[in-house]
Structure 1
Amino acid sequence: MPSRPVRRRNPPRAVAHDPAVGTEVELETTGVAHGGIMVARHEGRVVFVADAIPGERVRARVTEAKSSFWRADTLEVLEASPHRREHVWSEASVTRDPEGRAGGAEFGHIELAHQRELKRQVAADALARIGRIDDAPDFTVQALPGGDDAAGTGWRTRVTLHVAPDGTVGPYAARSHTVIPVSSLPLAVPELAAIAPLTERLGDAASVDLIAPAEGPLQIVTARDGSRPPLAAITERVGDREFALEALGFWQVHRLAAATLTGAVQRAIDADAFDPRAANLDLYGGVGLLAAAVGDRFGQATRITSVESYESATDFAARNLAEWVGARAVTGRVEQWVRGRAENATATERGRQRAATIVLDPPRAGAGTEVVAELVSTEPAQVVYVACDPVAFARDAKAFAAAGYAIRSLEAFDLFPNTHHVELVARLSRD
């Protein structure tokens, strides 16, 4: 995946020009919506409320007013949920003015077990309401080992800090590009929190990336004038296997996420439907993590092609997959590559495509109807879908279902404690 682009510094926060904006209202929250916000109603209008919990009564300030809904920030909790706790990040607490709250820990005021239940509800609602899937397997959102011991903190191995025009370093405020000065980074692994330049002034910088690889020294990458310095390779580890990648290349953020997803993908594949000689695929393959998971389960002779649009990642994937004689890594946009694969296949290749297992790990927006249509046109034996957004997954699952591919297994993981994000791993196949 490409390195993250340098963002513009502190563009103005968008504010709807409506008399309701700035109004303070009392609200009773009744549910949770995708994106880490809660749902309430005011005089019949839906209001999406930040920093609340279902079942609470809060005083909130309207920040956006449209004809169909409002958005609001919690100012005061009038009747608290039994699941509310002191926020794990004091600089994101509801006790601060909303515009001065650090973003990136929007569930930090909720007990961990209830966070996971809310994430489950969001994913289940998306499958039912958006995916129109009423027979999805039951699932819970699983905690990663040791996560609850530290209240869901100390897990981020990658942190991006931004720099304000005056040189202040910090995270963005929630839902804005305003840099918030902070004195702590509780979600970061301790070694990154210790080196973060939170008290410095970096007037000539745009952002600072902190990386804690599994092997080697910590990395600090500062972007200046829209550019970053040349990046050295780093080494990550999953069990006994090493993966080389660019310092700012895509890698799972939680220190245990790569190992967790490796195991989940291996479990999801139906061994009876897997053919090591088929035209197996790892799409949006990055540096080869999930292709390696397949190869480790089914042996060195496994045929699998990893497809990734970012050339540097593909180069690393070729190195990381070198021990599998049937593995290869290619650079290409997935939607274009799968279209050409289907259009140009010989009769023998079409047979291998029908026998294929496809691992699909798209970006947050999902694979999309075009990619799904090309994949199902080749009638693969099974698809293992790794999803970082439940709504995008639900849309894609609906497209798969229209072609007869139902969800046969489903696991969910809390790879991002104290945020609203959740990771899903599903297997889809036809009867």
Structure 2
Amino acid sequence: MSRPRRSAPPRGRRPRPKASKGESYVGRRFEVEVGPVAHGGHFVARVPLEDGASRVVFVRHALPGERVVVEITEGTAGDRFWRGDAVSVLSAAAERVVPPCPYAGPGLCGGCDFQHVSLSAQRELKATVLREQLVRLGGLSAEDPLVADLVVEAVPGDEAGLRWRTRQRYATAQGGGRGMRRYRSHDVIPVDDCLIASSDAREPGAGTVVESVDAGGATHSFEVAADGFWQVHPGAPATLVSAVLSALAPAPGDTVLDLYAGVGLFSAFLADEVGPTGRVVAVEGDRTASALSVGNVPSAEVTAGDVATVLGGLEEGPFDLVVLDPPREGARRPVVEAVAARSPRAVAYVACDPAALARDVAIFAEHGYRLRSLRGFDLFPMTHHVEAVALLTKTGSDQQ
């Protein structure tokens, strides 16, 4: 499946037009104490109202424990919650820093949620969100060591959290210059230099490019569409391959199902491990990426098509190992159940969304698969986005 969500981390979803629910509170300011981090780069606070009630507001540019003045950016009297920006900090958290980018802040570029947070604190916030989603949606216990001890690991290839984006798409600013969009808006903020873009970052275009990855003691080159999906952090491909290989421990002769296989990143290294007596079946929804994977991994059996549909028509024979690398919405029930029906001894799930991962972990649990290991990776510093690699095995298997 095509995965534009990781070739360009979103700068906030644009609000859909909605019917009025009463008086607008946009532009109103309130003094609030900031609560915990929430999924999506926000922090939870409560705004006191005139009648003694309060309203939940999701605040950007804040930190837990701070006292701030929040300006409401979306919200009416009838809404269940509001959105807002911390426009003045009355009591700052120890983790707060001066944003390195002049375009980061209330009303400015929407690309970076956490530029006002120290790098170590950014990673702890991401780990907190992963933990919370696994408990709330995944059914895990907060005391489970996999949850309680989870950390988000730094990945080599950036410069103190900056200069890591190898692909960068700009909007056209008024007057013809380049710019970035304001958070949840079509408005374009002129930007001279995006600090998370690498010095040689390129904009998506026509044709193909070649990417090389050194991992697991081997090096492979991949032809990738210039406007197609490829991890944008330079350390990401090798880091994820190494994590998947370590989790699955593939052996010669194993049969492997690589779902949402893209241009064959995982398939190539898995084919090395299972050898000529093994088998790798790769399924990818984007036909361009799937066609490129045929050349990238000649030994794999490649099928282009919707993953759930292809799985429904695939032979019912068992697979030893499965890799899932779904788009932001996750694999979802039809795919998870089709995977579980093939009784793999281990499933490596590469996730770019904590909530989607947690929901799918819960579905796997219904079919006897438990989370056995989990690693988080900071592939998108200065933003709220986080990548995770989870290992699930069948209860009673020799890998439990």
- Which band: TM-score by shorter chain? 0.7 to 0.9
Cα pair 1:263 1:293 within 8 Å, conserved: no
2:45 alignment counterpart:
40
**How far apart are the structure 1 equivalents of 2:386 and 2:89?**
26
**How far apart are the structure 1 equivalents of 2:135 and 2:359?**
10
Cα separation, partners in 2 of 1:85 and 1:14, compared to 1, 3 Å: farther
1:430 alignment counterpart:
394
**How far apart are the structure 2 equivalents of 1:313 and 1:418?**
29
1:186 aligns with 2:178: no
1:286 aligns with 2:250: no
2:398 alignment counterpart:
none
Gaps of 5+ in 1: 193-209, 212-219, 222-230
2:286 alignment counterpart:
310
1:174-230 alpha-carbon deviations (Å, 9 max, x no partner): 1222111012110011123xxxxxxxxxxxxxxxxx34xxxxxxxx63xxxxxxxxx
TM-score (norm 1): 0.81
State the Cα distance separating 1:68 from its structure 2 match: 2.2
State the Cα distance separating 1:404 from its structure 2 match: 1.1
Q: Which structure shows the higher strand fraction?
A: 2
1:232 alignment counterpart:
207
TM-score (norm 2): 0.87
Q: Give the counterpart letter for 1:253 in structure 2.
A: V
State the Cα distance separating 1:308 from its structure 2 match: 0.6
2:116 alignment counterpart:
109
1:125 aligns with 2:125: no
**How far apart are the structure 2 equivalents of 1:263 and 1:391?**
24
**How far apart are the structure 1 equivalents of 2:15 and 2:274?**
52
**How far apart are the structure 2 equivalents of 1:68 and 1:86?**
32
1:226-249 alpha-carbon deviations (Å, 9 max, x no partner): xxxxx2221001023211111111
State the Cα distance separating 1:2 from its structure 2 match: 4.0
1:266 aligns with 2:258: no
**How far apart are the structure 2 equivalents of 1:110 and 1:383?**
34
**What SS does the corresponding residue of 2:210 show, helix, strand or coil?**
strand
**How far apart are the structure 2 equivalents of 1:297 and 1:259?**
15
1:1-40 alpha-carbon deviations (Å, 9 max, x no partner): 54859x9xxx898686633222100111111000001111
Q: How does 1:180-259 map to 2 (within 5 A)?
A: 180-192=189-201, 210-211=202-203, 221=205, 231-239=206-214, 240-259=219-238
Cα separation, partners in 2 of 1:13 and 1:370, compared to 1, 3 Å: closer
2:253 alignment counterpart:
276
**What SS does the corresponding residue of 1:171 show, helix, strand or coil?**
strand
Q: 2:100 aligns with which of 88, 109, 131?
A: 88
2:160 alignment counterpart:
151
Choose 58-67 or 101-110, whichever is displaced more: 58-67
1:74 alignment counterpart:
86
Q: Give the counterpart letter for 2:185 in structure 1.
A: S
1:382 aligns with 2:346: yes
1:141 aligns with 2:152: yes
1:21 aligns with 2:26: yes
Cα pair 2:15 2:184 within 8 Å, conserved: no
State the Cα distance separating 1:145 from its structure 2 match: 2.3
Cα pair 1:89 1:105 within 8 Å, conserved: no
**What SS does the corresponding residue of 1:60 show, helix, strand or coil?**
strand
Cα pair 2:2 2:327 within 8 Å, conserved: no
Cα pair 2:260 2:324 within 8 Å, conserved: yes
State the Cα distance separating 1:275 from its structure 2 match: 6.7
State the Cα distance separating 1:132 from its structure 2 match: 1.1
1:216 alignment counterpart:
none
State the Cα distance separating 1:379 from its structure 2 match: 2.0
**How far apart are the structure 2 equivalents of 1:364 and 1:12?**
18
Cα separation, partners in 2 of 1:3 and 1:425, compared to 1, 3 Å: closer
State the Cα distance separating 1:139 from its structure 2 match: 1.9
Q: 2:186 aligns with which of 156, 160, 177?
A: 177
1:340 alignment counterpart:
313
1:380-423 alpha-carbon deviations (Å, 9 max, x no partner): 22111000000110011110011111001111100000000110
State the Cα distance separating 1:290 from its structure 2 match: 0.9
**How far apart are the structure 2 equivalents of 1:120 and 1:398?**
19
State the Cα distance separating 1:340 from its structure 2 match: 1.5
Cα pair 2:252 2:274 within 8 Å, conserved: no
Q: Give the counterpart letter for 1:310 in structure 2.
A: D
- State how many pairs are aligned: 372
Q: Give the counterpart letter for 2:164 in structure 1.
A: W
How many percent identity over aligned positions?
42
**How far apart are the structure 2 equivalents of 1:146 and 1:164?**
30
**How far apart are the structure 2 equivalents of 1:36 and 1:45?**
19
**How far apart are the structure 2 equivalents of 1:307 and 1:13?**
33
Cα separation, partners in 2 of 1:56 and 1:3, compared to 1, 3 Å: closer
Q: 1:61 aligns with which of 60, 71, 80?
A: 71
Cα separation, partners in 2 of 1:108 and 1:370, compared to 1, 3 Å: same
**What SS does the corresponding residue of 2:322 show, helix, strand or coil?**
strand
Cα pair 2:252 2:277 within 8 Å, conserved: no
Q: Give the counterpart letter for 1:289 in structure 2.
A: L
Cα pair 2:32 2:46 within 8 Å, conserved: yes
User: Considering only aligned residues, what root-mean-square deviation do their CA atoms show, in Å?
Assistant: 2.3
Cα separation, partners in 2 of 1:14 and 1:77, compared to 1, 3 Å: farther
